[in-house]
Structure 1
Amino acid sequence: MQLLCDIPSGTEVLVHICCAPDASYGIRALRDRFEVTGFFYNPNIDPREEFRKRLRATLDLQERDPFPLVVGAGGEEAWEEATRGMEGEPERGRRCEACVRLRLRETARKAAELGMPAFGTVLTVSPKKDAAMVNHVGCQEGERSGIRFVEADMKKGDGYLKSVRASRELGLYRQSYCGCRYSINGMKNGGSVRESPR
Protein backbone atom coordinates (compact mmCIF):
# COMPACT_ATOMS: atom_id res chain seq x y z
CA MET A 1 0.00 0.00 0.00
CA GLN A 2 1.16 3.49 -0.78
CA LEU A 3 -0.19 6.25 1.47
CA LEU A 4 -0.49 9.57 -0.35
CA CYS A 5 -1.42 11.74 2.63
CA ASP A 6 0.16 13.17 5.76
CA ILE A 7 -2.56 12.33 8.26
CA PRO A 8 -0.87 11.64 11.62
CA SER A 9 -0.49 8.10 12.94
CA GLY A 10 -3.14 7.16 15.48
CA THR A 11 -5.87 9.25 13.84
CA GLU A 12 -9.37 7.74 13.99
CA VAL A 13 -10.45 6.84 10.45
CA LEU A 14 -13.80 5.58 9.20
CA VAL A 15 -12.97 3.26 6.30
CA HIS A 16 -15.54 2.48 3.64
CA ILE A 17 -15.65 -1.26 2.91
CA CYS A 18 -16.93 -2.37 -0.48
CA CYS A 19 -16.33 -6.09 0.10
CA ALA A 20 -14.56 -8.47 2.46
CA PRO A 21 -11.74 -9.46 0.06
CA ASP A 22 -10.59 -5.84 -0.35
CA ALA A 23 -11.03 -5.23 3.38
CA SER A 24 -9.05 -8.35 4.29
CA TYR A 25 -5.91 -6.51 3.19
CA GLY A 26 -7.01 -2.86 3.29
CA ILE A 27 -8.21 -2.77 6.89
CA ARG A 28 -5.08 -4.57 8.12
CA ALA A 29 -2.81 -2.21 6.19
CA LEU A 30 -4.54 0.91 7.52
CA ARG A 31 -4.62 -0.45 11.10
CA ASP A 32 -0.83 -0.43 11.08
CA ARG A 33 -1.04 3.36 11.16
CA PHE A 34 -4.55 4.48 12.16
CA GLU A 35 -7.39 3.72 14.59
CA VAL A 36 -9.74 2.12 12.08
CA THR A 37 -13.49 1.57 12.10
CA GLY A 38 -15.01 -0.14 9.06
CA PHE A 39 -18.13 1.18 7.33
CA PHE A 40 -20.05 -1.17 5.04
CA TYR A 41 -22.21 1.05 2.82
CA ASN A 42 -23.00 -0.18 -0.68
CA PRO A 43 -26.43 0.71 -2.08
CA ASN A 44 -25.06 -0.16 -5.53
CA ILE A 45 -24.87 -3.92 -4.93
CA ASP A 46 -27.40 -5.91 -6.90
CA PRO A 47 -29.21 -8.28 -6.57
CA ARG A 48 -30.16 -8.25 -2.86
CA GLU A 49 -28.88 -11.80 -2.43
CA GLU A 50 -25.44 -10.58 -3.56
CA PHE A 51 -25.65 -7.72 -1.06
CA ARG A 52 -26.38 -10.22 1.71
CA LYS A 53 -23.44 -12.43 0.67
CA ARG A 54 -21.04 -9.48 0.74
CA LEU A 55 -22.31 -8.21 4.06
CA ARG A 56 -22.08 -11.73 5.56
CA ALA A 57 -18.51 -12.05 4.28
CA THR A 58 -17.64 -8.69 5.86
CA LEU A 59 -19.14 -9.82 9.17
CA ASP A 60 -17.17 -13.09 8.85
CA LEU A 61 -13.98 -11.06 8.35
CA GLN A 62 -14.78 -8.93 11.39
CA GLU A 63 -15.30 -12.06 13.51
CA ARG A 64 -12.00 -13.61 12.40
CA ASP A 65 -9.90 -10.44 12.51
CA PRO A 66 -11.81 -8.14 14.91
CA PHE A 67 -12.26 -4.45 14.16
CA PRO A 68 -15.10 -2.00 14.92
CA LEU A 69 -17.72 -2.07 12.14
CA VAL A 70 -20.69 0.13 11.28
CA VAL A 71 -23.22 -1.13 8.74
CA GLY A 72 -24.93 1.60 6.75
CA ALA A 73 -28.47 1.22 5.46
CA GLY A 74 -30.52 2.53 2.57
CA GLY A 75 -29.30 4.73 -0.23
CA GLU A 76 -30.65 2.67 -3.12
CA GLU A 77 -32.84 5.51 -4.44
CA ALA A 78 -29.95 7.97 -4.15
CA TRP A 79 -27.75 5.52 -6.10
CA GLU A 80 -30.40 5.19 -8.84
CA GLU A 81 -30.62 8.98 -9.09
CA ALA A 82 -26.83 9.46 -9.08
CA THR A 83 -26.30 6.96 -11.92
CA ARG A 84 -29.40 7.74 -14.02
CA GLY A 85 -28.52 8.32 -17.67
CA MET A 86 -25.16 6.55 -17.31
CA GLU A 87 -26.41 2.99 -17.68
CA GLY A 88 -24.31 2.41 -20.82
CA GLU A 89 -21.08 3.79 -19.38
CA PRO A 90 -18.14 1.38 -19.27
CA GLU A 91 -16.63 0.09 -16.05
CA ARG A 92 -14.34 2.83 -14.60
CA GLY A 93 -16.34 5.50 -16.44
CA ARG A 94 -18.63 8.32 -15.28
CA ARG A 95 -21.15 5.95 -13.67
CA CYS A 96 -18.43 4.42 -11.49
CA GLU A 97 -17.26 7.88 -10.46
CA ALA A 98 -20.82 8.83 -9.47
CA CYS A 99 -21.16 5.58 -7.50
CA VAL A 100 -17.85 6.09 -5.70
CA ARG A 101 -18.81 9.70 -4.92
CA LEU A 102 -22.13 8.66 -3.38
CA ARG A 103 -20.49 6.06 -1.14
CA LEU A 104 -17.58 8.28 -0.08
CA ARG A 105 -19.91 11.23 0.59
CA GLU A 106 -21.92 9.02 2.95
CA THR A 107 -18.71 7.76 4.57
CA ALA A 108 -17.58 11.34 5.22
CA ARG A 109 -21.02 12.21 6.60
CA LYS A 110 -20.96 9.18 8.91
CA ALA A 111 -17.40 10.00 10.05
CA ALA A 112 -18.56 13.50 11.01
CA GLU A 113 -21.57 12.05 12.84
CA LEU A 114 -19.27 9.71 14.79
CA GLY A 115 -16.80 12.51 15.58
CA MET A 116 -14.00 11.01 13.49
CA PRO A 117 -11.59 13.44 11.81
CA ALA A 118 -10.78 11.28 8.77
CA PHE A 119 -12.25 8.77 6.35
CA GLY A 120 -10.96 6.45 3.66
CA THR A 121 -11.85 3.43 1.54
CA VAL A 122 -10.51 0.03 0.55
CA LEU A 123 -11.76 0.50 -3.03
CA THR A 124 -8.22 1.08 -4.32
CA VAL A 125 -7.22 -2.54 -3.55
CA SER A 126 -9.15 -3.73 -6.60
CA PRO A 127 -7.62 -3.66 -10.09
CA LYS A 128 -11.16 -2.88 -11.29
CA LYS A 129 -10.96 0.55 -9.68
CA ASP A 130 -8.97 3.59 -10.83
CA ALA A 131 -7.08 4.66 -7.70
CA ALA A 132 -6.46 8.18 -9.06
CA MET A 133 -10.21 8.69 -9.60
CA VAL A 134 -11.12 7.25 -6.19
CA ASN A 135 -8.56 9.46 -4.45
CA HIS A 136 -9.65 12.55 -6.42
CA VAL A 137 -13.29 11.99 -5.47
CA GLY A 138 -12.32 11.27 -1.86
CA CYS A 139 -10.34 14.50 -1.60
CA GLN A 140 -13.24 16.48 -3.08
CA GLU A 141 -15.65 14.94 -0.59
CA GLY A 142 -13.16 15.61 2.20
CA GLU A 143 -13.03 19.29 1.28
CA ARG A 144 -16.81 19.42 0.98
CA SER A 145 -17.34 17.86 4.43
CA GLY A 146 -14.35 19.18 6.36
CA ILE A 147 -13.29 15.58 7.10
CA ARG A 148 -9.82 14.58 5.90
CA PHE A 149 -9.54 11.83 3.30
CA VAL A 150 -6.86 9.15 3.59
CA GLU A 151 -5.46 9.00 0.07
CA ALA A 152 -3.92 5.63 -0.69
CA ASP A 153 -3.19 3.28 -3.54
CA MET A 154 -3.67 -0.10 -1.93
CA LYS A 155 -2.69 -1.98 -5.10
CA LYS A 156 0.91 -0.83 -4.62
CA GLY A 157 3.23 -3.31 -2.95
CA ASP A 158 1.15 -6.27 -4.19
CA GLY A 159 -1.89 -5.16 -2.18
CA TYR A 160 -4.32 -6.95 -4.47
CA LEU A 161 -2.37 -10.22 -4.32
CA LYS A 162 -2.20 -9.90 -0.53
CA SER A 163 -5.97 -9.43 -0.44
CA VAL A 164 -6.49 -12.56 -2.56
CA ARG A 165 -4.23 -14.57 -0.24
CA ALA A 166 -5.79 -13.21 2.96
CA SER A 167 -9.36 -13.74 1.83
CA ARG A 168 -8.62 -17.30 0.70
CA GLU A 169 -6.87 -18.09 3.99
CA LEU A 170 -9.92 -16.77 5.85
CA GLY A 171 -12.36 -18.61 3.57
CA LEU A 172 -14.19 -15.43 2.56
CA TYR A 173 -16.69 -15.19 -0.28
CA ARG A 174 -14.99 -13.62 -3.34
CA GLN A 175 -17.22 -12.02 -5.93
CA SER A 176 -16.28 -11.65 -9.59
CA TYR A 177 -18.01 -8.36 -10.46
CA CYS A 178 -17.94 -4.90 -8.95
CA GLY A 179 -21.46 -4.91 -7.59
CA CYS A 180 -24.06 -3.01 -9.59
CA ARG A 181 -26.38 -4.57 -12.14
CA TYR A 182 -24.52 -2.82 -14.95
CA SER A 183 -21.20 -4.35 -13.94
CA ILE A 184 -22.72 -7.84 -13.78
CA ASN A 185 -24.23 -7.29 -17.23
CA GLY A 186 -20.79 -6.21 -18.45
CA MET A 187 -19.28 -9.40 -17.07
CA LYS A 188 -21.96 -11.51 -18.76
CA ASN A 189 -21.30 -9.78 -22.08
CA GLY A 190 -17.52 -9.71 -21.84
CA GLY A 191 -16.65 -12.76 -19.78
CA SER A 192 -17.99 -15.32 -17.42
CA VAL A 193 -19.51 -14.52 -14.07
CA ARG A 194 -18.37 -16.98 -11.45
CA GLU A 195 -18.33 -17.31 -7.71
CA SER A 196 -15.07 -18.24 -6.09
CA PRO A 197 -15.63 -21.03 -3.60
CA ARG A 198 -15.33 -20.28 0.10
Structure 2
Amino acid sequence: MEATLASGIGYAIFFYKRKIHPLKEYELRKNENIRFAGQFGVPFIDADCDRDNWFERARGMAHEPERGVRAAARYPGLMQSECNWRKGGGSARMTEISKRESFHQQAYCGCVYSLRDANRHRVEGGRERMQLGVKFYGDEEPATD
Protein backbone atom coordinates (compact mmCIF):
# COMPACT_ATOMS: atom_id res chain seq x y z
CA MET A 1 0.00 0.00 0.00
CA GLU A 2 2.79 2.41 0.90
CA ALA A 3 4.68 1.70 -2.34
CA THR A 4 1.55 2.11 -4.45
CA LEU A 5 0.82 5.46 -2.84
CA ALA A 6 4.41 6.57 -3.41
CA SER A 7 4.05 5.70 -7.10
CA GLY A 8 1.16 8.14 -7.45
CA ILE A 9 -1.30 5.47 -8.56
CA GLY A 10 -4.79 6.11 -7.22
CA TYR A 11 -6.55 3.06 -5.86
CA ALA A 12 -9.02 1.74 -3.31
CA ILE A 13 -9.09 -1.39 -1.17
CA PHE A 14 -11.94 -3.65 -2.26
CA PHE A 15 -12.49 -6.14 0.56
CA TYR A 16 -14.32 -9.17 -0.78
CA LYS A 17 -13.38 -12.13 1.35
CA ARG A 18 -16.47 -14.28 1.32
CA LYS A 19 -14.63 -17.48 2.23
CA ILE A 20 -13.14 -16.39 5.56
CA HIS A 21 -14.22 -18.65 8.42
CA PRO A 22 -15.12 -18.29 11.23
CA LEU A 23 -16.74 -14.86 11.43
CA LYS A 24 -14.27 -13.81 14.16
CA GLU A 25 -11.40 -14.37 11.70
CA TYR A 26 -13.26 -12.49 8.96
CA GLU A 27 -13.85 -9.49 11.22
CA LEU A 28 -10.23 -9.47 12.40
CA ARG A 29 -8.85 -9.46 8.85
CA LYS A 30 -11.36 -6.86 7.67
CA ASN A 31 -10.72 -4.52 10.59
CA GLU A 32 -6.96 -4.67 10.05
CA ASN A 33 -7.47 -3.65 6.42
CA ILE A 34 -9.79 -0.80 7.43
CA ARG A 35 -7.30 0.45 10.02
CA PHE A 36 -4.30 0.32 7.68
CA ALA A 37 -6.17 1.91 4.75
CA GLY A 38 -7.38 4.66 7.07
CA GLN A 39 -3.82 5.53 8.07
CA PHE A 40 -3.09 6.43 4.45
CA GLY A 41 -6.46 7.87 3.48
CA VAL A 42 -7.06 5.03 1.02
CA PRO A 43 -10.75 4.43 0.27
CA PHE A 44 -12.03 1.13 1.66
CA ILE A 45 -14.89 -0.62 -0.13
CA ASP A 46 -16.52 -3.31 1.99
CA ALA A 47 -18.28 -5.92 -0.12
CA ASP A 48 -19.18 -7.63 3.16
CA CYS A 49 -19.16 -11.30 3.98
CA ASP A 50 -21.08 -13.57 1.61
CA ARG A 51 -20.20 -17.11 2.64
CA ASP A 52 -23.26 -18.66 0.99
CA ASN A 53 -22.01 -17.48 -2.40
CA TRP A 54 -18.56 -18.94 -1.74
CA PHE A 55 -19.93 -22.30 -0.56
CA GLU A 56 -22.04 -22.46 -3.71
CA ARG A 57 -18.94 -21.87 -5.87
CA ALA A 58 -16.88 -24.37 -3.84
CA ARG A 59 -19.53 -27.11 -3.90
CA GLY A 60 -17.94 -30.48 -4.60
CA MET A 61 -14.43 -29.17 -3.92
CA ALA A 62 -14.22 -29.69 -0.15
CA HIS A 63 -11.37 -32.18 -0.49
CA GLU A 64 -9.40 -30.39 -3.19
CA PRO A 65 -5.87 -29.44 -2.13
CA GLU A 66 -5.03 -25.92 -1.02
CA ARG A 67 -4.10 -23.58 -3.91
CA GLY A 68 -5.98 -25.78 -6.37
CA VAL A 69 -9.24 -25.46 -8.26
CA ARG A 70 -11.13 -24.44 -5.12
CA ALA A 71 -8.83 -21.42 -4.75
CA ALA A 72 -9.46 -20.45 -8.37
CA ALA A 73 -13.22 -20.42 -7.68
CA ARG A 74 -12.73 -17.38 -5.45
CA TYR A 75 -12.18 -14.81 -8.15
CA PRO A 76 -14.30 -15.38 -11.28
CA GLY A 77 -15.48 -12.08 -12.70
CA LEU A 78 -13.20 -9.92 -10.56
CA MET A 79 -10.40 -7.78 -11.90
CA GLN A 80 -7.36 -7.44 -9.74
CA SER A 81 -3.87 -6.13 -10.10
CA GLU A 82 -1.28 -8.80 -10.75
CA CYS A 83 1.87 -7.72 -9.01
CA ASN A 84 4.57 -9.92 -7.53
CA TRP A 85 5.17 -7.89 -4.39
CA ARG A 86 7.62 -10.50 -3.06
CA LYS A 87 10.34 -9.44 -5.51
CA GLY A 88 12.97 -6.90 -4.61
CA GLY A 89 12.68 -7.34 -0.86
CA GLY A 90 8.90 -7.25 -0.77
CA SER A 91 8.58 -10.24 1.57
CA ALA A 92 10.96 -8.69 4.08
CA ARG A 93 9.08 -5.38 3.79
CA MET A 94 5.77 -7.18 4.40
CA THR A 95 7.16 -8.71 7.58
CA GLU A 96 8.58 -5.35 8.69
CA ILE A 97 5.23 -3.59 8.18
CA SER A 98 3.32 -6.47 9.78
CA LYS A 99 5.47 -6.25 12.90
CA ARG A 100 5.24 -2.46 13.03
CA GLU A 101 1.44 -2.59 12.70
CA SER A 102 1.04 -5.70 14.91
CA PHE A 103 -0.98 -7.41 12.19
CA HIS A 104 -2.67 -10.73 12.88
CA GLN A 105 -0.44 -13.62 11.83
CA GLN A 106 -2.66 -15.73 9.61
CA ALA A 107 -2.08 -19.46 9.95
CA TYR A 108 -4.38 -20.60 7.11
CA CYS A 109 -5.93 -19.16 3.96
CA GLY A 110 -9.18 -18.42 5.75
CA CYS A 111 -11.59 -20.98 4.34
CA VAL A 112 -13.28 -23.62 6.45
CA TYR A 113 -11.54 -26.39 4.50
CA SER A 114 -8.08 -24.94 5.03
CA LEU A 115 -8.81 -24.55 8.74
CA ARG A 116 -10.01 -28.16 8.88
CA ASP A 117 -6.95 -29.47 7.05
CA ALA A 118 -4.46 -27.34 9.00
CA ASN A 119 -5.93 -28.48 12.31
CA ARG A 120 -5.93 -32.11 11.17
CA HIS A 121 -2.26 -31.79 10.20
CA ARG A 122 -1.41 -30.17 13.53
CA VAL A 123 -3.19 -32.85 15.57
CA GLU A 124 -1.59 -35.65 13.54
CA GLY A 125 1.79 -34.03 14.27
CA GLY A 126 1.09 -33.96 18.01
CA ARG A 127 0.37 -30.23 18.18
CA GLU A 128 -2.69 -28.42 19.48
CA ARG A 129 -5.38 -27.09 17.19
CA MET A 130 -5.00 -23.48 16.09
CA GLN A 131 -6.17 -20.71 18.35
CA LEU A 132 -7.68 -18.09 16.09
CA GLY A 133 -6.98 -14.41 16.46
CA VAL A 134 -4.32 -14.68 19.15
CA LYS A 135 -0.98 -14.51 17.31
CA PHE A 136 0.25 -11.20 15.96
CA TYR A 137 3.46 -10.22 14.21
CA GLY A 138 5.97 -8.95 16.72
CA ASP A 139 4.54 -10.96 19.63
CA GLU A 140 6.98 -13.25 21.38
CA GLU A 141 4.14 -15.41 22.64
CA PRO A 142 0.55 -15.61 21.40
CA ALA A 143 -1.69 -13.07 23.10
CA THR A 144 -4.46 -14.32 25.35
CA ASP A 145 -8.13 -13.39 25.19
Alignment of 1:160 with 2:91, yes or no, is: yes
Structure 1: unaligned runs, 5 residues or longer: 1-26, 109-119, 121-149
How has the CA–CA distance of structure 1 residues 157 and 73 changed in structure 2, closer, same or farther, with 3 Å as cutoff?
same
Paired with 1:35 and 1:187, the residues of 2 have a C-alpha distance of 37
Q: Where is the strand percentage greater, Structure 1 or Structure 2?
A: 1
Q: Which moved more, 1:157-166 or 1:76-85?
A: 157-166
How many residues are paired up?
Answer: 128
Q: Considering only CA atoms, is the larger Rg found in Structure 1 or Structure 2?
A: 2
- Kept after mapping to 1: 8 A contact 2:62/2:113: yes
Q: 1:74 deviation in Å?
A: 4.3
Of residues 17, 20, 27 in structure 2, which corresponds to 1:45? 20
Q: Deviations over 1:127-157 (max 9, x none)?
A: xxxxxxxxxxxxxxxxxxxxxxx32212212
Of residues 70, 73, 85 in structure 2, which corresponds to 1:95? 70
- Kept after mapping to 2: 8 A contact 1:64/1:170: no
Paired with 2:66 and 2:16, the residues of 1 have a C-alpha distance of 20
Q: 1:88 deviation in Å?
A: 0.4
Q: Where is the helix percentage greater, Structure 1 or Structure 2?
A: 1
- Kept after mapping to 1: 8 A contact 2:13/2:37: no
SS of the equivalent of 1:54 reads helix
Q: Which amino acid is 2:2 matched to?
A: R
Q: Deviations over 1:70-95 (max 9, x none)?
A: 11124322211111101001111111
Q: Give the TM-score normalised by the residue count of structure 2.
A: 0.77
- Matched with 1:178 is 109
Q: Give the TM-score normalised by the residue count of structure 1.
A: 0.58
CA RMSD of aligned residues (A): 2.0
Q: 1:33 deviation in Å?
A: 4.8
Instruction: Work out the percentage of aligned pairs sharing the same amino acid.
Output: 26
- Matched with 2:136 is 197
- Matched with 1:19 is none
Counterparts of residues 108-123 of structure 1 (less than 5 Å): 108=79, 120=80
Paired with 1:188 and 1:171, the residues of 2 have a C-alpha distance of 24
Structure 2: unaligned runs, 5 residues or longer: 123-128, 138-145
Q: 1:30 deviation in Å?
A: 2.7
Q: Which has the higher contact order (CA 8 A, sep 6+)?
A: 1
- Matched with 2:140 is none
- Kept after mapping to 2: 8 A contact 1:44/1:179: yes
Paired with 1:173 and 1:65, the residues of 2 have a C-alpha distance of 19
SS of the equivalent of 1:166 reads helix
- Kept after mapping to 2: 8 A contact 1:174/1:197: yes
SS of the equivalent of 1:39 reads strand
Paired with 2:48 and 2:94, the residues of 1 have a C-alpha distance of 26
How has the CA–CA distance of structure 1 residues 84 and 154 changed in structure 2, closer, same or farther, with 3 Å as cutoff?
same
Paired with 1:45 and 1:176, the residues of 2 have a C-alpha distance of 12
Q: Deviations over 1:4-43 (max 9, x none)?
A: xxxxxxxxxxxxxxxxxxxxxxx22333252111111101
